[in-house]
Chains A and B, each alone.
Chain A
Amino acid sequence: MNDFLDNDSFLEDLRADVVAADQSRRLGVVVAGSLSRGLEVRLDRDQRLEDLAVGRYVTIAAGDRIFFGMITDVSLDSTNPAFEKTPPDFSNEFFRQVHMGTSTFGRIHVSPMLVLHRESEADDWNAQPVKTIPGHYSSVCTATAEEVGYVFGREGEGRDADGRRAHYFHIGEPLDMENVKITLNLDRFVERSSAVFGKSGTGKTFLSRLLLAGIIQNKVAVNLVFDMHNEYGWEGTAEHAPSVKGLKQLFPGEVTIFTLDDESSRRRESRPDYTVTISPQDIEPEDVQMLAGIIGLTEPQVGAMYALARRFGKGWLQKFLDDDFIDAEWDGLKGMAEELGQPQQTLAALRRRLDRFRRYDFITDKGEGNSVERILEMLQANRHVVLEFGRYGSDLGAYLLVANYLTRRIHERYVHLTERAFGEKSAEPTNLVITIEEAHKFLEPAVASHTIFGTIARELRKYHVTLLIVDQRPSGIDPEVMSQVGTRVTLALDSEEDIRAVFMGVSGASELRQVLARLDSREQALVLGHAVPMPVVVRTRRYDQNFWAEMGWNDRAALPERGRQSSAELRGERPRRLE
């Protein structure tokens, strides 16, 4: 796992602790179960069902192994159905004392996730996925903070189970446990495409911003964020606070803000570094094709678009939308239609659909030069790029067009760079993580197969580009893409369909579904997949002043006060702070 594992004496204590089944932590005994369905645990008599909750961790000592699992269901049971149908006379306290926990009792369902095992006394312990289950009547205990910390790895840099370098980033605390940090292996998080899901209002953006800050701070990848609602760059909005710091404020030297709408960015005092423009000359039919669903292009219209591009080459769009050009060349659309062999009506409809591009001010020749090149320069210099959409954020067409346009070209360059490196690690580009919101629009089954995002999700880390999908409707995402998503961070979801989609391709999904369905609607998330050793429910880390300070941000307003405190300490007027 990590260097934590080398600490054998700790594990000896841990095992002795579990075997002794400390009565205060003991919950009950394993009475039934299977590897596929999980374990049934009968609670001890004095164990109060009300004190338990799904998502809590338990350890089970069995022979020379320690199983680590999660409570995924809680139920009531009795030794005889008659006790349910004709309950004993509970007005009599004696009856209550006798029956409770004896003839009627609670049981919990535990999904075993990991097993700590070693071959012999001399070997190191290692944590592996479970391949068997503990025997009958093994004691089940609540996991201690140390055990949870041990399984997930300590915050900071370390080594993973395969001995690879890993950066463990604190993402939250387990439910019902104080002072325990659940960490995520960031190297694994960026290695494959990842996702943050949750219905609106659950804090997807907060959590994504937190993860991005972790990636930036630990330098595990370089980010490109398509910031649809202008929440990541300079400043974000919050329901209960005036505003929250964006990534640029936390990492001023490492984050560059690009904007599509300079006016909006300046109004928000976002201080963008560059304004992105797209030359109409450069737009290719592939860039427009994925908008088919949004702007209502039919198959024949898409076909006509390719025919136009073949006929006119670069600049086809500009020419096609230019009335004067058409009148001069063909004396109207009819002549053009005849020459291209396309129905006139199709062309007319296509023109009406594409006409909206005229309203996009960012499609212009009067820009600051090639925006794609500029973004690539930044990324290759390991600077993180946040692209704000300004007012275009509410225009899904513009968002899709730009994200797709830029990503296609950036991905192409990464493919080129990777292939040129001929497998030589040092020459390969730094991993790029592209964050997209409303991801199902890019990845719905109808378009995923022919958009660049579908391709990126499917080819994994081959070309060092992965996605961070931020979405509220996982069910809208192509199952094939979904199955390639390595790490899924899921906040509360309502719809049964969405919950099902999150667990696509996950073993033991039916049990975890219970856990997910009962998450609080704020600040609780289920994390599962590549970057965590086992599925975990966390109370997410707050994206607040403390977090910003840990990321290295200094509150300028607080500086004078801190200065005063420091001088007071130096003069001995107040005790030193223990920091």
Chain B
Amino acid sequence: MNDTSPLFGRTLRTGTLTFTFGSTLPHSRQPAFGELVRVPAGAGQVYGVVYDVLTQDDPFVRQVIAASDQLEAEKIADMRERRQSPVEITALAVAYREGGHVYQRIPPRPPATLEPVYGCDDEEVREVLQGWDSFRTILNHAQCPAEELLAACIRHAARCQPAERRRQFLVEAGRELTRQLSADPLRLDAILRRLGGDQF
């Protein structure tokens, strides 16, 4: 946990399973699909995996699009930065920290609104995603593309490992998935295909 971690935004809506935060960061600095984010909840922290990034329209954008076919690049950039409504980013709660311990379970209480949402550094990702208990939480969540999300999350975790351990980390994660998904070989195959290869 690091206070210098980037601030992504503040919570808009929260629930036991997911929380949504609004972000005004430029497109390139927004958290990626499958990335781990942290938000305070009471005395602890809730960790979530980003699975949906929604940029909604606003009246101003509609007007501009309706008024003109030819938009100047400068204007487009300006409008993207000064939006009336924030980008809505939703994360699936997979773990929480309480009393110094990290638990890979659904948090007992969701974060409140307007809590700051931070990114996590490599060390924190390694700490939170060690062990594979969160696989089940992700796979069981009906509202998200679970296979894609799990593969993205594992790749994100792999990127946070030292370079020489990345390959082994992926193999071990694959083996754990193989164990957990032995009853569903097609689903397993889909995830492994998204994990394979040397691109993290």
Could you list which residues of chain A lie within 8 angstroms of chain B, going by C-beta atoms?
Answer: 45, 79-80, 82-83, 86, 88, 92, 94-95, 97-99, 102-103
Contact = CB atoms under 8 A, between A and B. Distances in A.
A118 to B, nearest CB: 38
A309 B148 CA distance: 99
B174 A103 contact: no
B192 A94 contact: yes
B113 interface: no
A94 B182 contact: no
B176 to A, nearest CB: 9
A88 B189 CA distance: 7
Contacts of B197: 94
A229 to B, nearest CB: 60
Interface in B166-184: 170-171, 174-175, 177-179, 182-183
Contacts of B183: 80
Contact of B185 (A45, A86, A97): A86
Nearest to A100: B175
Nearest to A103: B178
Given A88-B189, A98-B174, A102-B175, A80 B182 contact: yes
Q: What 4 A-B pairs have minimum CB-CB distances, sorted nearest first?
A: A98-B174, A79-B182, A94-B196, A82-B185
A92 B175 contact: no
Contact of B174 (A45, A82, A83, A97): A97
Given A79-B179, A102-B175, A102-B179, 9 more contacts: A45-B175, A79-B182, A83-B185, A98-B171, A98-B174, A99-B178, A102-B178, A103-B178, A103-B185
B195 interface: yes
A97 B196 CA distance: 11
Interface of B: 170-171, 174-175, 177-179, 182-183, 185, 188-189, 192, 195-197
Q: Which of B171, B177, B178 has the largest number of chain A CB atoms within 10 A?
A: B178
Contacts, number: 38
A100 to B, nearest CB: 9
Contacts of A86: 185
A318 to B, nearest CB: 84
A96 to B, nearest CB: 10
Contacts of B171: 94, 97-98
Contacts of B185: 80, 82-83, 86, 103
B147 to A, nearest CB: 15
A94 B170 CA distance: 9
Nearest to B179: A102
B189 A94 contact: no
B162 to A, nearest CB: 19
7 contacts: A79-B179, A79-B182, A88-B189, A94-B171, A94-B196, A94-B197, A98-B175
Nearest to A81: B185
A45 B178 CA distance: 13
Which of B182, B185, B196, B197 is packed against the most chain A CB atoms within 10 Å? B185
Contacts of A80: 182-183, 185
B106 to A, nearest CB: 27
A80 B183 CA distance: 6
A486 to B, nearest CB: 49
A103 B192 contact: no
Contacts of A102: 175, 178-179
A83 B184 CA distance: 10
Contact of B182 (A45, A88, A98, A103): A103
A99 B195 CA distance: 13
A83 B196 CA distance: 18
Contact of A92 (B178, B182, B196): B196
Nearest to B184: A80
Contacts of A45: 175
Contacts of A99: 178
B172 to A, nearest CB: 9
Nearest to A94: B196
Contacts of A79: 178-179, 182
A86 B177 CA distance: 18
A82 B170 CA distance: 23
Contacts of B179: 79, 102
Nearest to B198: A94
B182 to A, nearest CB: 4
A86 B183 CA distance: 14
B40 to A, nearest CB: 37
B192 A95 contact: yes
A378 to B, nearest CB: 71
Contacts of B175: 45, 98, 102
B187 to A, nearest CB: 11
B165 to A, nearest CB: 14
Contacts of A97: 171, 174
A86 B189 CA distance: 11
A98 B178 CA distance: 8
Contacts of B174: 94, 97-98
B181 to A, nearest CB: 9
Contacts of B188: 103
A103 B185 CA distance: 10
